Amino acid sequence: MRFQTPLVPARLIRRYKRFLADCRLEDGREVTAHCANPGSMRGLADPGTVVWLEPNDDPRRKLRYAWALVDHGAGHFTGIDTGAANRVVREALEAGAVPELAGHDILRAEVAYGAGSRVDFVLTHGQSETYVEVKSVTLSRRTGLAEFPDSVTARGARHLADLAEVARGGGRAVLFYLVQRTDCTHVAVAADIDPAYAAALGRARAAGVRVLAHAARIDPGGITLGAPMDAGG
């Protein structure tokens, strides 16, 4: 996934109302950027953080910038746009770059299923269907370890319950963690942040839900799927 326009560096002034961030560009101008991340962004939204913004000139958009990356220095980045995870995974699925999910004939996105939910992707091969739910992972509280979630997510637990129902019914269900930060080598569940999510994941695994995790390759040019990553369990 390539960014549509070249990113520009800035310093974060503050993030507020979840979806807004005031930033200072290198020329001193202050701008407000859209923050496409509903989570807590723990450790990623401290004032003074170096960030990368994507400019746009779309008259339909109220804000002229979107917050795309956090720059950790030493060539490491975090992609903060949760929607980017789906775009990256979709590109990888269409290219057959995930061996466990390759060989499908049809890919559908945002398919209604379960108790009023929508699954990110359904892959069809003949009479077989695979339900894939993608989660963007950006939290890291210990060197090398990425964690999900970064805040309580009842929605995430509901998605796990729906995937578990698919598996119990004999279908194939996959939870796909995309670790959108380049300074981590493995991923785990932040059970202390959301015990209910951790319990739901345990039930989903027991029901037959497969858990996959991949790193992401990130730089100011774009984000692509990286190597498989240990997801534990």
Judge residue 171's burial from the number of C-beta atoms within 10 Å of its C-beta, 0-12 exposed, 13-18 middle, 19 or more buried.
middle
Q: What is d(CA 211, CA 203) in angstroms, rounded to the nearest whole number?
A: 12
The domain locations on the chain are: 8-79, 82-228
pTM: 0.95
Q: What is the DSSP letter of 159?
A: H
CATH number of 82-228: 3.40.1350.60
Tokens representing 102? 């390759």
Beta strands in 26-116 (DSSP E): 30-34, 50-55, 65-73, 76-79, 106-113
Q: Are 77 and 43 in contact (CB under 8 A)?
A: no
Ordered per-residue pLDDT tens for the chain, 233 residues: 999 999 999 999 999 999 999 999 999 999 999 999 999 999 999 999 999 999 998 888 899 999 999 999 999 999 999 999 999 999 999 999 999 999 999 999 999 998 789 999 999 999 999 999 999 999 999 999 999 999 999 999 999 999 999 999 999 999 999 999 999 999 999 999 999 999 999 999 999 999 999 999 999 999 999 999 988 75
Model pLDDT, residue 21: 98
Q: Please name every residue paired with 179 in a beta bridge, in sequence order, or none if there are none.
A: 137, 215
CATH number of 8-79: 2.40.50.580
Q: Please name every residue paired with 95 in a beta bridge, in sequence order, or none if there are none.
A: none
Q: What is d(CA 110, CA 116) in angstroms, rounded to the nearest whole number?
A: 12
